[in-house]
Each structure stands twice: as structure tokens, then as C-alpha cells.
Amino acid sequence: MTSAQTMLTTLTLALVVCLAPLMGGCSMTKSRDELSPPGVIVSPYDTGSGDVLWAVIPPLNESGTSIADPSAIGDSIVAAAQGVRGVRCLPINRSLDALQTLGLFNGIESSSDAHKLAEYMGCDAVLVGSITAYDPYDPPVLGLALALYARPGAMAQTSQAQLDSRALTMAFSDFGTFDGLTFAGEPVSVVSEHLDARNHEVQYAVRSYAQGRSDRSSALQWRIYLASMDLYTQFAAHHTIGRLIDQEWLRLAEQSARRRQGN
């Protein structure tokens, strides 16, 4: 090999060595900038005539601590419901104004109150909630219970299940139990979630929720939703609304099965 060839080979190798980090950096940047869609909750409702419309009442604070902000948590519930495909949701201020106008100063105390509010606001259902646990410190804890009251004739038929109109006990959830919360009347679907971030299943749900919603290049990545109570509340609202929609899928499937049996 001539000295000229040797020099050319050496320069080529040096160029490859110098460019390798840059090429790797470009590849890493591309990987970090790659977008992925977040998970979307899909409702079971027939939207041929348009999305169903919900109104949300600020949740009652039954957590035992005064630092929980029902209005802020209610806004997160509205945002989560608004994100459901096939559902639109009115702002909480509209619900508060309607409650005042109708003289329902203590909120929804019976199914007739819920139906009256839905009729007045022109919506299909009213979502009533309660904050059952709240701890903003690491690791965060948030418990939410939701009950969906459907206006008669809206969102298919009202569930035929016989519920205790005086004291509907919230039961099992994947992440814990809560007993003693009551909703008056007969909501068509009820769900209760106790989301303790120490639970690995909850952490797995947070990581799944963060997919497409967090910056993968940040130091915390999906754990950012555990480091901020505001972000954790967004996750908890989305998760609980998702479980409520699961109940609605089951309710409408059971109604459809009963209709087929009746035929």
C-alpha cells in the first residue's frame, strides 16, 4: 500500500470516528422527538344524532382533609369526561349557576333533583362525585367516587337494577375499597377508585396514561404524574371516568341482551 493510500485510509477512519457521536446524537434526538398517540376512552353511546351531553357537579369533599379543592378536582373530571369520544361536557360554572337558579343549594340530593337539573340544562346526564381520599404528598393518594344520573329516555334505558335509594354502598375496585359513600336516587352507573401511588398496579396505570402525554426526554418521564398532585389528579380523573365508561358498556350490553331475550 502506498503512503498516499495509507493516508487516505487513516483520514477515512478518523472521519468515521468523529462523525459517529454526531450520528448517534441525531438518532437519539429522532427517538426522543418521536410522537405517540395517547390512549382514548370511547363511549358506548349511539352518536348518530350527535354526542351525548353531560353536566358535572363539583364533587363533595369526604376525604377528611380540607386541603382538597373540589372545584379544581371537578375541573379535572370535566376535562376527563370531555376527552371521552362520544361525550361532550358542560363547564362546572354552568352547573353551579343552574343549581342556584333551581334552588338546589345543597346540590343533588335525589334522582329527581338530577333529572330536574338535566332537563333545565338540556343535557342527557348529570355526573355527581365525591372525593373519598386525598393526600398530595409523595406518594400521592386520591380517591374518587362517581355516579351517573341519566335523564329518563336519554342514553338508552335507565338501568333496571334495584339500588338502595337511601344508601348506595360503594364496593370493590381494583385498587382498594371504600364503604359508606351514599348517593340518593338511582344512578345508572357507579364507580369508586382508591388510587394510591404506592400500589404498583396504579403506577402501571399512570405509566400507560402518560404514554403520549409526557416528555420521554425529561428526567422524570412518566413519573412526572407522580411528582405533581395536579398532574396526578388529571390521571385519577381520567382513570375513574374510564372505569365509569366501562360500567356503561356493560349496562348497555345487558340492556341489549334483555331486549333480545324479550323478542
Q: Where are the domains of the chain?
A: 48-157+164-262
CA-to-CA distance for 90 and 82, rounded, in angstroms?
8
Quote the pLDDT of residue 250. 93
Q: What is the pLDDT of residues 158-181, one digit of tens each?
A: 333 333 333 333 333 444 433 333
Q: At what angle do helices 70-82 and 92-102 cross, to 10 degrees?
A: 120
Alpha-carbon 157 to chain mean position: 24
Distance CA 256, CA 247 (A): 14
User: Which has the higher per-residue pLDDT, 198 or 12?
Assistant: 198
Q: Do the Cβ atoms of 102 and 116 come closer than 8 Å?
A: yes
How do beta strands 87-89 and 141-150 pair?
unpaired
CA angle 103, 106, 108 (to 5 degrees): 90
Report the SS3 class of residue 148.
strand
Residues 93, 57: contact at Cβ < 8 Å? Answer: no
* pLDDT, average across residues 72-84: 96
Please list, in sequence order, all residues whose beta carbon lies within 8 angstroms of the beta carbon of residue 71, skipping any fewer than 6 positions away: 58, 92
State the amino acid at position 139 in one-letter form.
P
Residue 36 sits at the vertex; the CA angle it makes with 32 and 41, to the nearest 5 degrees, is 150
Question: What local confidence, expressed as pLDDT, does residue 102 receive?
Answer: 95
Highest mean pLDDT among 56-60, 151-155, 169-173: 56-60
Q: Mean pLDDT: which of 70-74, 167-171, 255-259 is highest?
A: 70-74
Q: List b or e across 31-61, with b for residues whose CB sees 16 or more CB atoms inside 10 angstroms.
A: eeeeeeeeeebebbbeeeeebbbbbbbbbbb
Please tell me the distance from the alpha carbon of residue 3 to that of residue 9, in angstroms, as a whole number.
10
Task: Kindly report whether the global pTM for this prediction surpasses the value 0.85.
Answer: no
pLDDT at 93: 94
CATH number of 48-157+164-262: 3.40.50.10610
List C-alpha distances in Å: 49 to 45, 61, 86, 195, 252: 10, 36, 11, 36, 18
According to the model, what pLDDT value does residue 7 have? 53
